[in-house]
């Protein structure tokens, strides 16, 4: 399917690793020009196709410094003259729980939420001109809870709220705003976390058992494909939506992942 993204300009925060890198690569493959805002460039092993070099701009900066957000938008306009797509992706599940204290909670909001607002604030005038779109990357944690991660959970809940709020505010300008929420996605970070466990394969199998659809992790490509579709004109009348790309992990009945035959009719 041609997503009609040739010549469009997208800004992706946290585009050097994992899901963000997958989004950057798929946007480039669809012909878009992309600005990756990140503290560090992609690893050498993840170097982009040389043919993409003229359509890719790297803006280095730590998004907890909100001046980086304004600078990223300014450099985008200076380099490409327009802005059509904002993908707010950068963040980290930093484990700032109830015991961490208010200062750690505020710092978690800075890592995971404040820059979403700052990027949208500085991008909005340009998105209004281009009738562009915003795609926010959230997390199932805001729906399910996880324990020990108040800051991250609050941030991701805030992202859902801002997605709907911005969809209303920007609709008169023809700007669409949607969110994509992953659950258990197989990323290099997830792989490293499991590798530190006594039996990584058993740990992976235990998690996959809990995922109803095909009992496997979501791939980065599957997440990125949804993001790029929502960023394209092929979803031109979709806004204010919170879309879970998670193999049914978040919402489907637990009987999908358990042996409930012993309960007979009560299991249906």
Q: Which of 84, 112, 108, 87 is nearest to 97 (CA)?
A: 108
Three-class SS of residue 259?
A: coil
Provide the token pair at 243. 């879309």
Q: How many CB atoms lie within 10 A of CB 81?
A: 10
Q: Of how many residues is the chain composed?
A: 268
Sign of CA dihedral 125, 130, 109, 34: negative
143, 149, 150, 154 alpha-carbon torsion, rounded to 10°: -50
Check 152, 190, 244, 249 and give the catalytic one.
152
Under a CB-based contact definition with an 8 Å cutoff, are residues 86 and 135 in contact?
yes
Phi, psi of 176 (to 5 degrees): -95, 145
Provide the token pair at 141. 């944690």
152 is catalytic: yes
What are the catalytic residues? 152
């Amino acid at each position: 399917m041609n997503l009609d993204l040739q010549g469009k300009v997208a800004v992706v925060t946290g585009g050097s690793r994992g899901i963000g890198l997958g989004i950057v690569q798929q946007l480039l493959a669809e012909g878009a020009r992309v600005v990756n805002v990140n503290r560090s460039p992609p690893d050498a092993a993840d170097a982009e196709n040389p043919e993409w070099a003229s359509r890719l701009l790297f803006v280095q900066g730590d998004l907890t410094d909100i001046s980086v957000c304004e600078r990223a938008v300014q450099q985008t306009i200076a380099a490409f003259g327009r802005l059509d797509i904002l993908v707010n992706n950068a963040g980290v599940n930093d484990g700032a729980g109830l015991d961490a204290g208010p200062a750690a909670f505020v710092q978690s909001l800075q890592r995971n939420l404040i820059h979403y607002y700052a990027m949208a604030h500085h991008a909005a005038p340009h998105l209004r001109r281009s009738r562009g779109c915003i795609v926010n990357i959230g997390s199932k944690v805001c729906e399910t809870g996880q324990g020990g991660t108040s800051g991250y959970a609050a941030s991701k809940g805030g992202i859902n709220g801002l997605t709907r709020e911005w969809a209303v505010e920007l609709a008169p300008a023809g700007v669409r705003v949607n969110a994509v929420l992953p659950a258990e996605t197989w990323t290099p970070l997830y792989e490293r976390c499991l590798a530190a466990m006594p039996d990584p394969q058993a740990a992976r199998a235990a998690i996959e058992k809990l995922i109803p659809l095909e009992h496997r992790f979501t791939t980065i490509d599957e997440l990125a494909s949804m993001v790029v579709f929502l960023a394209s004109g092929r979803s031109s009348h979709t806004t204010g939506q919170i879309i879970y790309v998670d193999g049914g992990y978040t919402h489907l009945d637990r009987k999908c992942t358990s042996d409930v035959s012993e309960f007979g009719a009560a299991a249906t």
